[in-house]
Protein backbone atom coordinates (compact mmCIF):
# COMPACT_ATOMS: atom_id res chain seq x y z
CA UNK A 1 0.00 0.00 0.00
CA UNK A 2 1.30 3.42 -0.93
CA UNK A 3 2.15 5.81 1.93
CA UNK A 4 -0.52 8.28 0.81
CA UNK A 5 -3.20 5.56 0.88
CA UNK A 6 -2.04 4.45 4.31
CA UNK A 7 -2.32 7.99 5.65
CA UNK A 8 -5.80 8.41 4.16
CA UNK A 9 -6.99 5.12 5.66
CA UNK A 10 -5.61 6.09 9.04
CA UNK A 11 -7.34 9.48 8.95
CA UNK A 12 -10.59 7.86 7.80
CA UNK A 13 -10.42 5.36 10.66
CA UNK A 14 -9.78 8.13 13.19
CA UNK A 15 -12.76 10.10 11.95
CA UNK A 16 -14.99 7.06 12.45
CA UNK A 17 -13.61 6.33 15.92
CA UNK A 18 -13.61 9.93 17.18
CA UNK A 19 -16.84 9.58 19.17
CA UNK A 20 -15.84 12.05 21.88
CA UNK A 21 -15.04 14.68 19.27
CA UNK A 22 -18.44 14.25 17.66
CA UNK A 23 -20.14 14.53 21.05
CA UNK A 24 -18.21 17.68 21.85
CA UNK A 25 -19.09 19.14 18.45
CA UNK A 26 -22.76 18.36 19.08
CA UNK A 27 -22.61 20.09 22.48
CA UNK A 28 -21.12 23.18 20.84
CA UNK A 29 -23.90 23.28 18.26
CA UNK A 30 -26.49 22.87 21.03
CA UNK A 31 -24.93 25.72 23.05
CA UNK A 32 -24.94 28.05 20.04
CA UNK A 33 -28.54 27.11 19.25
CA UNK A 34 -29.71 27.73 22.81
CA UNK A 35 -27.94 31.10 22.94
CA UNK A 36 -29.46 32.12 19.60
CA UNK A 37 -32.95 31.03 20.70
CA UNK A 38 -32.67 33.02 23.94
CA UNK A 39 -31.66 36.15 22.05
CA UNK A 40 -34.49 35.54 19.58
CA UNK A 41 -37.03 35.21 22.41
CA UNK A 42 -35.85 38.46 24.03
CA UNK A 43 -35.94 40.34 20.72
CA UNK A 44 -39.37 39.01 19.80
CA UNK A 45 -40.77 39.91 23.23
CA UNK A 46 -39.39 43.45 23.00
CA UNK A 47 -40.68 43.98 19.46
CA UNK A 48 -44.09 42.53 20.30
CA UNK A 49 -44.39 44.75 23.37
CA UNK A 50 -43.52 47.89 21.40
CA UNK A 51 -45.78 47.28 18.37
CA UNK A 52 -48.51 49.67 19.57
CA UNK A 53 -46.11 52.57 20.03
CA UNK A 54 -44.33 51.75 16.78
CA UNK A 55 -47.60 52.14 14.92
CA UNK A 56 -48.90 55.20 16.80
CA UNK A 57 -46.02 57.55 17.55
CA UNK A 58 -42.64 56.00 16.89
CA UNK A 59 -40.97 59.26 15.83
CA UNK A 60 -42.70 61.23 18.53
CA UNK A 61 -41.47 58.76 21.17
CA UNK A 62 -37.89 59.15 19.94
CA UNK A 63 -38.00 62.97 19.85
CA UNK A 64 -40.13 63.75 22.91
CA UNK A 65 -38.73 64.56 26.35
CA UNK A 66 -39.56 62.66 29.52
CA UNK A 67 -43.09 63.15 30.79
CA UNK A 68 -45.60 61.62 33.17
CA UNK A 69 -48.21 61.76 30.38
CA UNK A 70 -48.33 58.49 28.47
CA UNK A 71 -49.24 60.23 25.23
CA UNK A 72 -46.28 62.64 25.42
CA UNK A 73 -43.52 60.62 27.10
CA UNK A 74 -40.37 60.03 25.09
CA UNK A 75 -36.73 59.09 25.40
CA UNK A 76 -34.83 61.85 23.61
CA UNK A 77 -32.95 62.81 26.81
CA UNK A 78 -32.24 59.15 27.53
CA UNK A 79 -30.79 58.63 24.06
CA UNK A 80 -28.70 61.77 24.37
CA UNK A 81 -27.47 60.77 27.82
CA UNK A 82 -26.55 57.24 26.71
CA UNK A 83 -24.62 58.56 23.71
CA UNK A 84 -22.68 61.09 25.81
CA UNK A 85 -21.91 58.45 28.43
CA UNK A 86 -20.69 56.08 25.70
CA UNK A 87 -18.37 58.80 24.37
CA UNK A 88 -16.98 59.46 27.86
CA UNK A 89 -16.41 55.74 28.37
CA UNK A 90 -14.73 55.41 24.96
CA UNK A 91 -12.37 58.32 25.76
CA UNK A 92 -10.93 56.29 28.66
CA UNK A 93 -10.10 53.24 26.51
CA UNK A 94 -6.51 54.39 25.77
CA UNK A 95 -5.85 54.04 29.52
CA UNK A 96 -6.94 50.40 29.51
CA UNK A 97 -5.11 49.61 26.26
CA UNK A 98 -1.97 51.32 27.57
CA UNK A 99 -2.15 49.28 30.79
CA UNK A 100 -2.47 46.10 28.74
CA UNK A 101 0.54 47.04 26.58
CA UNK A 102 2.63 47.69 29.69
CA UNK A 103 1.64 44.41 31.38
CA UNK A 104 2.30 42.32 28.27
CA UNK A 105 5.29 44.06 26.66
CA UNK A 106 7.19 46.00 29.33
CA UNK A 107 6.47 44.57 32.79
CA UNK A 108 8.72 41.81 34.09
CA UNK A 109 7.18 38.44 34.90
CA UNK A 110 7.40 38.67 38.69
CA UNK A 111 5.06 38.42 41.67
CA UNK A 112 4.01 42.08 41.45
CA UNK A 113 2.95 41.82 37.81
CA UNK A 114 1.03 38.60 38.48
CA UNK A 115 -0.64 40.24 41.49
CA UNK A 116 -1.77 43.18 39.32
CA UNK A 117 -3.15 40.81 36.70
CA UNK A 118 -5.11 38.86 39.32
CA UNK A 119 -6.43 42.11 40.80
CA UNK A 120 -7.59 43.33 37.38
CA UNK A 121 -9.39 40.04 36.70
CA UNK A 122 -11.08 40.20 40.10
CA UNK A 123 -12.17 43.79 39.49
CA UNK A 124 -13.89 42.67 36.28
CA UNK A 125 -16.24 40.52 38.39
CA UNK A 126 -17.14 43.12 41.03
CA UNK A 127 -20.91 43.90 41.05
CA UNK A 128 -21.79 47.13 39.27
CA UNK A 129 -23.52 48.57 42.34
CA UNK A 130 -20.13 48.65 44.10
CA UNK A 131 -18.76 50.84 41.30
CA UNK A 132 -21.80 53.05 41.76
CA UNK A 133 -20.84 53.58 45.40
CA UNK A 134 -17.27 54.31 44.29
CA UNK A 135 -18.54 56.87 41.79
CA UNK A 136 -20.72 58.48 44.44
CA UNK A 137 -17.78 58.83 46.84
CA UNK A 138 -15.16 59.94 44.29
CA UNK A 139 -16.79 61.63 41.30
CA UNK A 140 -19.93 63.04 42.94
CA UNK A 141 -18.61 64.08 46.36
CA UNK A 142 -14.82 64.36 46.31
CA UNK A 143 -14.53 65.79 42.77
CA UNK A 144 -17.73 67.83 42.83
CA UNK A 145 -15.89 70.95 41.69
CA UNK A 146 -14.76 69.18 38.53
CA UNK A 147 -17.79 67.04 37.70
CA UNK A 148 -20.57 69.23 39.06
CA UNK A 149 -21.84 66.55 41.45
CA UNK A 150 -24.56 64.23 40.16
CA UNK A 151 -23.88 64.92 36.51
CA UNK A 152 -23.42 63.02 33.29
CA UNK A 153 -19.64 63.46 33.67
CA UNK A 154 -19.77 61.63 37.01
CA UNK A 155 -21.99 58.93 35.52
CA UNK A 156 -19.73 58.45 32.49
CA UNK A 157 -16.56 58.27 34.59
CA UNK A 158 -18.21 55.77 36.95
CA UNK A 159 -19.12 53.49 34.05
CA UNK A 160 -15.64 53.99 32.58
CA UNK A 161 -14.10 52.66 35.79
CA UNK A 162 -16.62 49.80 35.68
CA UNK A 163 -15.56 48.58 32.22
CA UNK A 164 -11.85 49.46 32.43
CA UNK A 165 -10.83 46.01 33.78
CA UNK A 166 -12.66 44.38 30.84
CA UNK A 167 -10.74 46.57 28.40
CA UNK A 168 -7.43 45.69 30.08
CA UNK A 169 -8.16 41.93 30.05
CA UNK A 170 -9.39 41.72 26.45
CA UNK A 171 -6.59 43.96 25.17
CA UNK A 172 -3.96 41.93 27.03
CA UNK A 173 -5.34 38.69 25.57
CA UNK A 174 -5.29 40.16 22.06
CA UNK A 175 -1.69 41.36 22.47
CA UNK A 176 -0.64 38.00 23.91
CA UNK A 177 -2.13 36.23 20.88
CA UNK A 178 0.18 38.08 18.45
CA UNK A 179 2.79 35.56 17.21
CA UNK A 180 6.28 36.01 18.58
CA UNK A 181 7.60 35.92 15.00
CA UNK A 182 6.20 39.42 14.45
CA UNK A 183 8.35 40.77 17.25
CA UNK A 184 11.43 38.73 16.29
CA UNK A 185 11.20 39.89 12.68
CA UNK A 186 10.94 43.53 13.68
CA UNK A 187 13.86 43.25 16.13
CA UNK A 188 15.87 41.48 13.45
CA UNK A 189 15.40 44.47 11.15
CA UNK A 190 16.68 46.81 13.85
CA UNK A 191 13.38 48.19 15.19
CA UNK A 192 13.19 49.41 18.76
CA UNK A 193 10.72 47.95 21.24
CA UNK A 194 8.31 50.85 20.80
CA UNK A 195 8.57 50.70 17.00
CA UNK A 196 7.84 46.96 17.16
CA UNK A 197 4.79 47.52 19.34
CA UNK A 198 3.51 50.42 17.25
CA UNK A 199 4.01 48.90 13.79
CA UNK A 200 3.58 45.16 14.42
CA UNK A 201 1.97 44.23 17.73
CA UNK A 202 -0.81 46.79 18.03
CA UNK A 203 -2.03 46.55 14.40
CA UNK A 204 -2.13 42.75 14.64
CA UNK A 205 -3.95 42.88 18.00
CA UNK A 206 -6.36 45.65 17.00
CA UNK A 207 -9.25 43.35 15.90
CA UNK A 208 -9.28 41.69 19.32
CA UNK A 209 -8.90 45.02 21.10
CA UNK A 210 -11.86 46.43 19.17
CA UNK A 211 -13.96 43.43 20.18
CA UNK A 212 -13.22 44.08 23.84
CA UNK A 213 -13.97 47.78 23.60
CA UNK A 214 -17.30 47.12 21.88
CA UNK A 215 -18.32 44.68 24.59
CA UNK A 216 -17.34 47.26 27.18
CA UNK A 217 -19.42 50.02 25.59
CA UNK A 218 -22.38 47.63 25.29
CA UNK A 219 -22.18 46.82 29.00
CA UNK A 220 -21.78 50.46 29.98
CA UNK A 221 -24.78 51.48 27.85
CA UNK A 222 -27.03 48.97 29.62
CA UNK A 223 -26.05 49.63 33.25
CA UNK A 224 -28.69 51.25 35.44
CA UNK A 225 -27.59 50.52 39.03
CA UNK A 226 -24.41 52.69 39.02
CA UNK A 227 -26.29 55.58 37.42
CA UNK A 228 -29.02 55.29 40.03
CA UNK A 229 -26.46 55.52 42.85
CA UNK A 230 -24.62 58.39 41.18
CA UNK A 231 -27.89 60.32 40.93
CA UNK A 232 -29.36 59.94 37.44
CA UNK A 233 -32.89 61.33 37.24
CA UNK A 234 -35.76 59.10 36.06
CA UNK A 235 -37.38 62.16 34.44
CA UNK A 236 -35.39 65.09 33.20
CA UNK A 237 -35.90 67.92 30.72
CA UNK A 238 -32.80 69.83 29.60
CA UNK A 239 -34.66 73.09 29.01
CA UNK A 240 -32.56 75.95 27.65
CA UNK A 241 -29.24 74.95 29.22
CA UNK A 242 -26.24 74.97 26.92
CA UNK A 243 -24.15 71.86 26.32
CA UNK A 244 -21.55 72.51 29.05
CA UNK A 245 -24.26 73.22 31.61
CA UNK A 246 -26.00 69.99 30.66
CA UNK A 247 -22.75 68.07 31.17
CA UNK A 248 -22.52 69.32 34.75
CA UNK A 249 -26.24 69.26 35.53
CA UNK A 250 -28.98 66.69 36.02
CA UNK A 251 -29.08 63.85 33.50
CA UNK A 252 -30.79 60.64 32.57
CA UNK A 253 -30.06 57.68 30.29
CA UNK A 254 -31.97 54.97 28.48
CA UNK A 255 -31.55 52.34 31.26
CA UNK A 256 -33.13 54.82 33.69
CA UNK A 257 -36.01 55.43 31.28
CA UNK A 258 -36.57 51.69 30.89
CA UNK A 259 -36.50 51.09 34.64
CA UNK A 260 -38.90 53.98 35.25
CA UNK A 261 -41.38 52.86 32.58
CA UNK A 262 -41.30 49.25 33.81
CA UNK A 263 -41.89 50.35 37.41
CA UNK A 264 -45.03 52.38 36.69
CA UNK A 265 -48.25 50.56 37.65
CA UNK A 266 -50.34 51.16 34.54
CA UNK A 267 -50.17 48.32 32.02
CA UNK A 268 -49.91 50.76 29.12
CA UNK A 269 -46.45 51.86 30.30
CA UNK A 270 -45.12 48.38 29.48
CA UNK A 271 -45.10 49.35 25.82
CA UNK A 272 -42.98 52.38 26.63
CA UNK A 273 -40.46 50.16 28.46
CA UNK A 274 -40.38 47.71 25.54
CA UNK A 275 -39.87 50.47 22.96
CA UNK A 276 -37.13 52.10 25.04
CA UNK A 277 -35.45 48.68 25.31
CA UNK A 278 -35.66 48.32 21.53
CA UNK A 279 -34.04 51.74 21.09
CA UNK A 280 -31.20 50.73 23.42
CA UNK A 281 -30.68 47.47 21.51
CA UNK A 282 -30.53 49.38 18.22
CA UNK A 283 -27.94 51.80 19.65
CA UNK A 284 -25.77 48.94 20.87
CA UNK A 285 -26.14 47.21 17.49
CA UNK A 286 -25.01 50.38 15.69
CA UNK A 287 -21.97 50.65 17.97
CA UNK A 288 -21.17 46.98 17.29
CA UNK A 289 -21.57 47.55 13.56
CA UNK A 290 -19.07 50.41 13.56
CA UNK A 291 -16.54 48.26 15.42
CA UNK A 292 -17.12 45.26 13.13
CA UNK A 293 -16.53 47.39 10.03
CA UNK A 294 -13.39 48.89 11.58
CA UNK A 295 -12.09 45.45 12.56
CA UNK A 296 -12.74 44.10 9.06
CA UNK A 297 -10.84 46.98 7.47
CA UNK A 298 -7.88 46.50 9.78
CA UNK A 299 -7.82 42.76 9.10
CA UNK A 300 -8.01 43.38 5.34
CA UNK A 301 -5.18 45.90 5.56
CA UNK A 302 -3.06 43.30 7.35
CA UNK A 303 -3.92 40.71 4.70
CA UNK A 304 -5.82 38.39 7.03
**Rounded-to-integer distance, Cα 21 and Cα 30, Å:** 14
Residue 16's pLDDT band (boundaries 50, 70, 90)?
Answer: low
Task: State the average pLDDT for the chain.
Answer: 83
Least confident of 15-19, 35-39, 271-275: 15-19
Extract the runs of DSSP E, i.e. beta strands, from the chain.
Answer: none
Does residue 234 have a pLDDT over 50?
yes
The enclosing H or E element of 85 equals helix 76-91
Residue 154 falls inside a structural domain: yes
Decide: 234 and 259 in contact? Cβ < 8 Å: yes
Does residue 286 have a pLDDT over 60?
yes
Does residue 243 have a pLDDT over 70?
no
pLDDT of residue 168: 94
Residue 34 falls inside a structural domain: no
pLDDT of residue 137: 92
Question: Computed over its alpha carbons, how large is the radius of gyration of the chain?
Answer: 24
Length of the chain: 304
Domain tally, the chain: 1
By residue range, what is the domain housing residue 248? Answer: 50-301
User: Pick the residue with more confidence: 282 or 250?
Assistant: 282
Does residue 304 have a pLDDT over 70?
no
pLDDT in tens, 166-186: 999 999 999 999 998 989 888
**Rounded-to-integer distance, Cα 155 and Cα 217, Å:** 14
Residue 248's pLDDT band (boundaries 50, 70, 90)?
Answer: confident
Q: Who's near 157: CB < 8 A, 6+ residues apart?
A: 88, 92, 135, 139, 147
Residue 247 falls inside a structural domain: yes
**Rounded-to-integer distance, Cα 160 and Cα 226, Å:** 11
Residue 164 falls inside a structural domain: yes
Residue 5's pLDDT band (boundaries 50, 70, 90)?
Answer: low
Residue 187 falls inside a structural domain: yes
**Rounded-to-integer distance, Cα 249 and Cα 148, Å:** 7
Residue 15 falls inside a structural domain: no
CATH (domain of 80): 1.10.3720.10
Residue 11 falls inside a structural domain: no
pLDDT in tens, 93-152: 999 999 999 999 998 888 888 999 999 999 988 999 999 999 999 999 998 888 888 888
Residue 26 falls inside a structural domain: no
Does residue 1 have a pLDDT over 80?
no
pLDDT of residue 9: 63
pLDDT of residue 138: 92
pLDDT in tens, 52-71: 877 778 888 888 877 777 77
Q: Who's near 259: CB < 8 A, 6+ residues apart?
A: 224, 228, 234
Does residue 213 have a pLDDT over 60?
yes
Amino acid sequence: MAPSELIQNTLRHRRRSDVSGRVFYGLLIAAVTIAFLLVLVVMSDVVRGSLDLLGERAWGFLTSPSSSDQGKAGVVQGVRGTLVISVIVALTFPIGIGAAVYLEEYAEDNWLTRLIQVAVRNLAGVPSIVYGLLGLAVFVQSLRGLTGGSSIIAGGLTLAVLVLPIVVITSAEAIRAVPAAYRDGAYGLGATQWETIRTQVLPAAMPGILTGTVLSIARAAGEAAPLLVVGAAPYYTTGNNDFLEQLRGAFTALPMNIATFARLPAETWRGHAAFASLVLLVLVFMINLVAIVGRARIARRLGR
